[in-house]
Structure 1
């Protein structure tokens, strides 16, 4: 118990002394940083950098716009190629069924029989109140 009390006291004293000296170091560092930031030479370089960025933004914007247009054209071309390939695959097969036929080459189908389709009705209603037992569980 005494060892814990000595440890806690040492920790508290070290924390207070360390935080006081740490605070002094922090304030010193902060003052030096502000002094450096407000130095006229540093501010001159900051304004030069700002002017350079303002001059280069339109150039970079034009390059980005050109790249975006090129990418859009490539995507459009690829999409058109894929679309035509799918149309060729779909229209390339002829399907004759009892109710409708697909016309080869045009990609069009006769789906008029779907207008007279009736919904499927089950003979017995499903009871959702009694769930199935999970795997490994008994049904008791």
Structure 2
């Protein structure tokens, strides 16, 4: 737990002096990447929607619902429910995230997940996103994913 909290506090302290960016916004995105664990790696793709709330001039929190699909046979859509906490570094959002994802296959368990990410502006309403996520498994091997996405905020 300490290895997640200390970096988040460092980012928050640095962000206290950063120029604020707009939060209190709804967002929707498409994303794709790779997921690996247990000696295998596969492509993964999905969509997500969420809302971010300002917590002051430099901090924000948010919620997200996602639908991700590992692109191999015998898998299904994993539904993710994620909270995030981050800071504005000029116009870039940097955040830590955590939540729960339902099972990706019939013989899999759902997973708690934690990760970090960043959103960069691509225009007035568009953003690019990169995120790392670790999935904590009970019966199966833990998994990791790196995804990149493009979204719109409104």
TM-score computed with the length of structure 1 as normaliser: 0.13
- If each structure's strand is expressed as a fraction of its own residues, which one has the higher value? 2
More helix, by proportion: 1
**Structure with the greater alpha carbon radius of gyration:** 1
TM-score scaled to structure 2, two decimals?
Answer: 0.12
